[in-house]
Amino acid sequence: MTLEDQKSVVRKYVEAFNRGDVEEVCACFERDALVYGVLGWGEISKVRPIWEQLTRSFQINLQIESIIGEGKTVAVRYTERGRFVAAFRDVPPTGKAYEVIAMEWFEFGETGIMRRWGARDSAAINRQLGILGA
């Protein structure tokens, strides 16, 4: 994959995530990929249910602010917005919105994403959503 191909896969991942299309998000990854994030890490089969609940509960929208790459690595800085519209891990929705800067780092294999690391300010998200102590 060229660097432009890799960036294209990341854009496809973002578009699918914004639609809540977790099936398409997962299709961006190689079969034995690992995902590392705020809520834990693991293979796609482990993180898929988390993504399904996140997209359903928070109506997440990622807007790419910057995307850079070198070799088999692409890094992205987003503005992440969302609204808490459905229960998440036994916490009832508040209807409130949030906005934070988020970053993700993607490492590519031969056909797709092999590793993904995500970082966002969960404390700021919880504060904006009115779920302190959750």
Question: Domain containing 123 — which CATH number?
Answer: 3.10.450.50
79 is a domain residue: yes
Task: Determine, yes or no, domain membership for 56.
Answer: yes
List the domain range (segments joined by +) for residue 117.
3-129
If you average pLDDT over every residue of the chain, what do you get?
A: 95
What six digits make up the tokens of 53? 């609940």
The one-character DSSP state at 93 is P
29's tokens:
């990854």
What is the distance between the alpha carbons of residues 50 and 43, in angstroms, rounded to a whole number? Answer: 12
Strand duo 113-120 + 29-37: pairing: parallel
Q: How many domains in the chain?
A: 1
Segment 71-122, tens digit of pLDDT: 999 999 999 999 999 999 999 999 999 999 999 999 999 999 999 999 999 9
Q: Tell me the C-alpha distance between 47 and 37, whole Å.
A: 9
pTM: 0.93
The answer to whether residue 134 sits within a structural domain is: no
Nearest residue to 82 via CA among 25, 35, 126: 126
Q: Does any domain span residue 94?
A: yes
The answer as to whether 75 is a domain residue is yes
Q: Which residues contact 61 (CB under 8 A, 6 or more apart)?
A: 18, 80, 81, 82
* Euclidean distance between CA atoms 41 and 3, whole angstroms: 25
